[in-house]
Each structure stands twice: as C-alpha cells, then as structure tokens.
Amino acid sequence: MTAPHHQTPPDQTLPLGVLDFVGIEYGETPTESIAGAVEVARAVEAANYRRYWVSEHHNMSSLACSAPEILIAHILTLTGRIRVGAAGMMLPNHTAFKVAETFRTLLAIAPGRVDLGLGRAPGTDPLTAHVLRRGTNADAAADFPNQVGELLAFLGDGFPEGHPYTRLIAAPVVEERPELFLLGSSHYGPQFAAVNGMRAVFAHHMSPEIAVDVLRDYRARFQPGVEQRPWSAISVLAFASDDEAEVTRFEAGWALTMANLRRGVRTPIRPEEVDTFAASPAFTHGPRDPERMAIGPADQVVARLRALQDASGADEVVIVTPGLDRSARIASFEAIADAWPR
C-alpha cells in the first residue's frame, strides 16, 4: 500500500539526515538489502529525521546502490513525509538532461520530498567510470561546471536566447525543482557551491582534517545564486551504543572495509572477519582514527556531532553508519534522535 505524501514542516523535524550505502550484508540477497534500506528509511522517518539519502557506487558486489534514482522512487512510495534523495548523483556519469527528467519524475511521484545531491567523482574505479561514460575521454572535472549549468537550465532556469537547447523540455514539467546540494570531500565542492550560491554538503567521513575549515570558508565566500543564503551540512561517521563491544565492532568494521577497498576487495565482509580483526594487534595496537567518528553512548555521540555542527556552521548533520548489523544501525539512529536536543 502506498504511503500518503505529506511533508512535515522543517521546524518539526530534527536537523538530521542519514546517508545509506545500501550495503549487502554477508549471506543476504540484493532483494533483502533493498528491503533493509526501506526498513532503515521508515525507522529514521519515525524517529523524525529530516532526510534519507542513498549514494551512487558501481562495480561493488557489497552494495546495492548502483541506481540511486530507482531506490529513491521505491523508498518515496513506501514512506510518508521524510525527504528522500541522492548523495549523490555523480554527474559525469550521466547527462544533465536525463538527470533533470529523472528527478522531475520523482517530484511528480512525491512532490516536496525530493533531494538531489551532485558530485563530480565517478563513485567507482577508473575502468568502470570509462564504461559508464561510454568511453569518452572528456575531463570530468573541467566539464562539471557546464554540466551543472545545463542541469539548472533544464530544471527551470532556462537557457539564454539562441542556445541550441532552448527548444528542449525536461518532462514531465513540474512547478518545483528538487532541493539541490553540491557534494564534496575536498576544497573544490564547497568553493564551487559558494561561488554559485548553492547548498554545500561536505564529507567529514572522508576528509575530517579539513571539514570544519572548508565549511567555514564556504560561508565566508558565499554569493547569492541558486540560493539567497548559505546552507551547509556535514556528513559524519557515527554509531551510538552503550555496548562497548558493539562500538569496537563498528570501528573495526569500517577500518576493515577501507582496507579491503584499498586492496580491491569489493565483496561483503563476513561478521567473523570483523570479530577477528577487532581482536588483532593490527587493530588494537595499530593507528586508530577517533577524530573521524562519533562513537559511544548516544549522549557522547550527540555532543560530538553538535560540536562539529557548531564549529563548521553546518545547518544539518548527515549521519553515516555503515555496518554489518542493520538492527544495530537502526538502534543507533533511534538513540541519536532520542538524545538530540529538541
């Protein structure tokens, strides 16, 4: 049964979002993983989160997020009020015209609830990116500003008189456009957002050492454009639990995932591997990265998230909680919401 589409006013929701990689847990099918993503989205909606986002990653048998636009449509129809979107659509992998058509279709499905985060990274390895882009050799970074400009034009800004695309219509034609965000894990994204008056989302979970300074600089540089005032969010690895063993398991699971990616291993991790790694000297005596995460009891996690929000000037916090146990992840999201000041 399709849920009704009605949007909760922003001041009635928490300034929190979730970025979900839609991980395929060891031993489960992609079908079960996508059903699990719906379960997560419904849980954070019930906990009064403002947004639920899915990522775009390719050539990974451990993730089910290669087609975020399809996941968004599915989750929109099975939730009732939470905003749902992509963080992001990796624009160099797509044409601006097709992205505009896709997200206008999503808006027709669920008016007032669609978010569109734009990234310029491929979300995959170079060979897969080459295939996604049909073998073109264009410089994705150099072409990105033009792609963003085209997308904005197709979404309603329009092209200047005489432009060859003025006759094109990104259908279906809807009155609104999705809330737009410029994603980044380096200086480029927030600087681009500031110059063009766009919303900025920075991946602290990827580049924690520069996140606060980059977002503060974004606000200092902001020039009205797409938006009239600066707006930013910071995405942070976070896991809340009173069980110290569960917290250690989350930290070890992320470290092992990153190590596997560096080795080119893209398959689901067995829980036993995480437990073995968590007890190994490589983890217990190796370099830890606590500044990258907000972990521990919920009140400590919330204190850390709010400190990062205050330091960076971010309007919202996007929580990133990859892991092997979906029920533990949902419990963490709920605990953070319960501990967040109203």
Structure tokens at 322: 């990859």
Instruction: Output the pLDDT for position 134.
Output: 73
Burial class, 167, CB count within 10 angstroms (exposed 0-12 / middle 13-18 / buried 19+): exposed
Q: How confident is the model at residue 286 (pLDDT cuts 50, 70, 90)?
A: confident
Give just the sign of the alpha carbon dihedral 29, 36, 294, 190.
Answer: positive
| 62 contact partners, CB below 8 Å, separation of at least 6 | 23, 24, 266, 267, 268, 269
Q: How many alpha carbons fall within 13 Å on the CB side of residue 135?
A: 0
pTM: 0.92
CB–CB of 190/219 below 8 Å?
A: no
User: DSSP strand E in the chain: where?
Assistant: 14-20, 49-54, 83-90, 114-119, 179-184, 199-203, 232-240, 293-296, 316-320
Q: How confident is the model at residue 137 (pLDDT cuts 50, 70, 90)?
A: low
* pLDDT tens-digit series, residues 99-129: 999 999 999 999 999 999 999 976 567 787 7
Confidence band for 1, pLDDT divided at 50, 70 and 90: very low
Alpha carbons 142 and 148: distance in angstroms, whole number = 11
| Mean per-residue pLDDT of the chain | 92
Residue-level pLDDT at 341: 96
Q: Nearest Cα to 310, choosing from 232, 210, 224, 197?
A: 232
What CATH number does domain 10-339 carry, 3.30.70.360, 3.90.1150.170, 2.60.40.420, 3.20.20.30? Answer: 3.20.20.30
